[in-house]
Structure 1
Amino acid sequence: MNKAVGSQWNATEMEEAARRHLLSPSEAMEKLGQSARPLLSRGDGIYVIDAKGRRLIDGPAGMWCTQIGYNRREIADAIAEQALQLAYNSPWYTVNSPSAELAARIAAMTPGDLNRVFFTTGGSTAVDSALRFVEFYNNVLGRPEKKHIIVRREGYHGSTALTAACSGRAGNWPNFDIISDRISFISSPNIRLAGDKDEAAFLDFLVDEFRQEIARVGADKVAVFLAEPLLASGGVIIPPKGYHARFKAVCEEHDIVYISDEVVTGFGRCGEWFASEKVFGVVPDIITFAKGVTSGYVPLGGFAISERLLDKVSGDNARGSNYSNGYTYSGHPVSCAAALANIAVIEKDGILEHVRDISGYFAERLHSLADLPLVANVRASGLVGCVECLVDTSSPNVTDFDKRIGARIDIHCAELGLIVRPLGNMCVMSPALIITREQIDDMIGILRQGIERAAAEIMAGELV
């Protein structure tokens, strides 16, 4: 297929180009080149419009990121203006005004003394860079053996070699050499796995397991505990109340760095700039962020770090060290300008307050689906929720058939006007933060129909 540069492509030609030339994330290789994913042409508010003109509610907000919605002129203007003024600077030799201002703004949002910000290109590189800082930190302190990372099963932290190895979603592992003896996994804090334990007993079990894993590895070897406030891609798993504070206390006992991965929960998803302290009761040593910092308009990520940690490896304590980790696009001026405009919109429109006001209604409407025969569990925090579907709702075990049900629900919902990002058997909803009550009703109404249609197919023997 040949097409001159600058010539106008129609939708059919673009779909063909994608089918023949584009390698997409999570590509099913046995079907490579046989079909193209749905082609989107534009977005507006909480909606996306595909190449056929169909208007769909974007249930997952892209990938948990379009906080202020699509088609916001303020962001587009900020991007264009900055591109014309200064499109790029080398972060190795210079800084730019938007990155300096954004670092100061983020430092004012973070809890405790997390007052220094390092910018990357997205969530994976944010977490990777934070973990690399911990390596650097312990090497400078003369503790080269203190490098072990503890993470949770069902957690997700990225797609670099290191962050993929830290992600406990085993479905992402086949055919990649990512398992590392530097990394170990402890239980997911999913209450559905608690058996006959109540929430308090389950929390005690999780904390004891963490202590046992530290003892097994050796506290002198464990460097960091890496945890999302809620396990987003694991299915919106919300830990028992007090979980993070108790884990942080254990980390402090053993001089272990606590990283809160807020790539999903940061910038309003749970009604706060960052969810760690105000929603989940913990002040971490490092917070990672991405996604919502620009509402997905352009790539940007980073981490904020405690002055307490930095003081140990800077100034008179630097020992000649140089934190040489960085990227060509660290602190990119256009991305940082977009983030500043995004923050301005969130403040001007009172979006954090809106999320806090509407999140109870969102959870209530999600829970209204619990009467459906396929629905095993519903959970929500802020404007992120999950409806977990199982044929046998009494069992926590997920079968391949359950995962096919999730895919069918997604197909039915798309036909009805809603994108569902199925995580196997789990229907995850994390809409743009500007969503209204009426739009929530529309979204949940379509999701109900999609689940009912899948259930009817099972009953008719059409889905096996």
Structure 2
Amino acid sequence: MQTLRQNDRTFMEGASGIHVMNDKGERLIDGPGGMWCTQIGYGREEMAEAMAEQARKLAYFSPFNATNSTASHFAREIAKRAPGDLNNVFFTTGGSTAVDTAIRFTYFRNNLLNKPKKKIIISRQKAYHGSTYLAASVSGKERDRLWLDKADHLAHFLPDVNPLHRGEGQSIDAFLDEKIADLEEAIQSLGADKVAAFIAEPILASGGVIMPPEGYHKRCLEVCHKHDVLYISDEVVTAFGRLGHWFASKDVFAIEPDIITCAKGLTSGYAPMGAAIISDRLIDDVAGRDAAFSNGYTYSGHPVSAAAGLKSMEIIEHDGILEHVRRVTPIFQGRLQELRNIDIVADVRGMGLMGCVQCSEKGRARGDLGRDYEIGALIDQECQKRGLILRPIINMCVFSPPLIITEAEIHQMFDVLTEGIEAATSLAKNP
């Protein structure tokens, strides 16, 4: 708010492949992939045609008491690819409303099962689940929570799961045990009769691409089910190819959650859409009841968005994009690890086509916050001068490029990132 009406915003006016073009005609690599979502890349004519054809046929109809075959077809295709018995797709407008829907359905089910006190959602520090009221209430990014009201009585946050911040001399295994104990102790202290669900991103994306220790999610799921607590896997970022699979929950992290939320890559960013995918077991608990799940949105199951999602899914399969991600991931992650050789780099982490470089002048993860902001801004500026857009989060450079990025483009992106970090380091020393 200090710079309200003083901002000189960049206008993006065109895009193709992994590149965007601004109003000055400059062509830049889209490092963040829009906002973790442009899986198939920009400028796909077949996407434009599929959306236009659907708009000509049926642009919209109320989802209140009818549906459309495009949305129905899309739901079926999602269910085919979702793990286990997650076969029930509730379409929403994006990730925030998908999370809201998952939480509201959890409350609805508990109320019908005569468990009205089970309302608390356990989340984690650094987690981000959305901007609508319920989704924001279970988000744990500290600075996002400073000035907006939240339903604090409905949320409980576990300590940071970033292994970078484990105790001095603490092993990864000991840290993992501590994090699992954090969850179990929270359920027991709050009361299992009051805890409704645990919500977790497989990788805490906008928190800084934080990856809990291996085995964390599987053990958390076991704790949850032991205490009759639902496990909601927030795959808004990790689903639809970001880690080389349709869904990361089972194929990467070996779990079958009770509910999965998704958005972003669901349509490759070509149209707004989200979904809460609910297991048959949970649906069976409420089936046949004299009750209505009165949660929905004007644009739920929007036919044009569904057409975009179907075509994106078709392109991902036809072009072998999941296989491509798995093939180029070692190159991407290898170049990421090389950045450790730069003095200012305190940590690098990533998985699939997700990465984060965390920088600190003191060579450690936690420095002066004001200076950390300056360092992050300098790196962002220097990279953009050289043709690469990043997502700066304080002193972290986060990137998740379109999944179609080639081996040569990966090298180009990391070459620019290396130059940008080194130039920013020099400027920081000699302002």
* TM-score of the alignment, normalized to the shorter chain, above 0.5: yes
Give the SS at the match of 1:30: coil
Partner of 1:163: 135
Conservation of the 8 A alpha-carbon contact between 1:398 and 1:425? no
Partner of 1:437: 407
Distance of aligned partners of 1:395 and 1:429 in 2 relative to their CA distance in 1, 3 Å threshold: closer
Q: Which amino acid aligns with 1:159?
A: S
Give the SS at the match of 2:317: helix
Equivalent residue for 1:185, pick from 153, 157, 164: 157
Partner of 1:300: 273
Equivalent residue for 1:241, pick from 214, 237, 247: 214
Q: Which amino acid aligns with 1:36?
A: D
Give the SS at the match of 1:377: strand
Equivalent residue for 1:68, pick from 16, 40, 43: 40
Instruction: Give me the whole-angstrom Cα distance separating, in 1, the residues matched to 2:214 and 2:405.
Output: 27
Equivalent residue for 2:422, pick from 427, 452, 461: 452
Matched, 1:404 2:374: yes
Instruction: Give me the whole-angstrom Cα distance separating, in 1, the residues matched to 2:3 and 2:222.
Output: 48
Matched, 1:198 2:171: yes
Distance of aligned partners of 1:336 and 1:214 in 2 relative to their CA distance in 1, 3 Å threshold: same
Equivalent residue for 1:263, pick from 236, 256, 263: 236
Matched, 1:211 2:184: yes
Q: CA deviation at 1:403?
A: 1.9
Q: CA deviation at 1:397?
A: 4.9
Matched, 1:413 2:383: yes
Conservation of the 8 A alpha-carbon contact between 2:329 and 2:353? yes
Instruction: Give me the whole-angstrom Cα distance separating, in 1, the residues matched to 2:374 and 2:428.
Output: 11
Residue correspondence of structure 1 range 62-461 to structure 2 within 5 A: 62-178=34-150, 180-195=152-167, 196-315=169-288, 318=289, 320-397=290-367, 399-460=369-430
Conservation of the 8 A alpha-carbon contact between 1:192 and 1:396? no
Give per-residue Cα distances to partners, 1:12-36, cap 9 Å, x unaligned. xxxxxxxxxxxxxxxxx22121133
Conservation of the 8 A alpha-carbon contact between 1:146 and 1:223? yes
Partner of 1:9: none
Q: CA deviation at 1:399?
A: 2.2
Q: CA deviation at 1:176?
A: 0.7
Give the SS at the match of 1:223: strand
Q: CA deviation at 1:362?
A: 0.2
Give the SS at the match of 2:220: helix
Instruction: Give me the whole-angstrom Cα distance separating, in 2, the residues matched to 1:43 and 1:391.
Output: 35
Give per-residue Cα distances to partners, 1:152-181, cap 9 Å, x unaligned. 000000000111111110111122111512
Give per-residue Cα distances to partners, 1:50-103, cap 9 Å, x unaligned. 011000000000000000000001110001000000000111121101110001
Instruction: Give me the whole-angstrom Cα distance separating, in 2, the residues matched to 1:44 and 1:443.
Output: 16
Give the SS at the match of 1:132: helix
Give per-residue Cα distances to partners, 1:114-136, cap 9 Å, x unaligned. 00100000000001111110011
Give per-residue Cα distances to partners, 1:251-280, cap 9 Å, x unaligned. 111110100000000100000000001111
Instruction: Give me the whole-angstrom Cα distance separating, in 2, the residues matched to 1:395 and 1:66.
Output: 30
Equivalent residue for 1:42, pick from 14, 17, 20: 14
Conservation of the 8 A alpha-carbon contact between 2:134 and 2:151? no
Instruction: Give me the whole-angstrom Cα distance separating, in 2, the residues matched to 1:393 and 1:124.
Output: 36
Q: Which amino acid aligns with 1:353?
A: E
Conservation of the 8 A alpha-carbon contact between 2:32 and 2:398? yes
Q: CA deviation at 1:373?
A: 1.0
Q: CA deviation at 1:396?
A: 3.8
Q: Which amino acid aligns with 1:308?
A: R
Higher mean C-alpha displacement, 261-270 vs 398-407: 398-407
Equivalent residue for 2:26, pick from 50, 54, 70: 54
Q: CA deviation at 1:398?
A: 5.8
Give the SS at the match of 1:365: helix
Overall identity of the aligned pairs, in %: 52
Q: Which amino acid aligns with 1:148?
A: I
Give per-residue Cα distances to partners, 1:388-417, cap 9 Å, x unaligned. 111122344562211221111101111110
Q: CA deviation at 1:41?
A: 0.8
Equivalences, count: 430
Give per-residue Cα distances to partners, 1:378-437, cap 9 Å, x unaligned. 111110010111112234456221122111110111111000110111101100000011
Instruction: Give me the whole-angstrom Cα distance separating, in 2, the residues matched to 1:417 and 1:395.
Output: 27
Give the SS at the match of 2:260: strand
Give per-residue Cα distances to partners, 1:335-378, cap 9 Å, x unaligned. 00000000000000000000001011100011111111110111
Conservation of the 8 A alpha-carbon contact between 1:193 and 1:396? no
Q: Which amino acid aligns with 1:380?
A: G
Instruction: Give me the whole-angstrom Cα distance separating, in 1, the residues matched to 2:355 and 2:250.
Output: 20
Structure 2, unpaired ranges of 5+ = none
Instruction: Give me the whole-angstrom Cα distance separating, in 1, the residues matched to 2:238 and 2:366.
Output: 25
RMSD: 0.9
Conservation of the 8 A alpha-carbon contact between 1:421 and 1:428? yes
Q: CA deviation at 1:186?
A: 0.3
Conservation of the 8 A alpha-carbon contact between 1:155 and 1:188? no
Give the SS at the match of 1:181: helix
Give the SS at the match of 1:116: strand
Instruction: Give me the whole-angstrom Cα distance separating, in 1, the residues matched to 2:165 and 2:339.
Output: 22
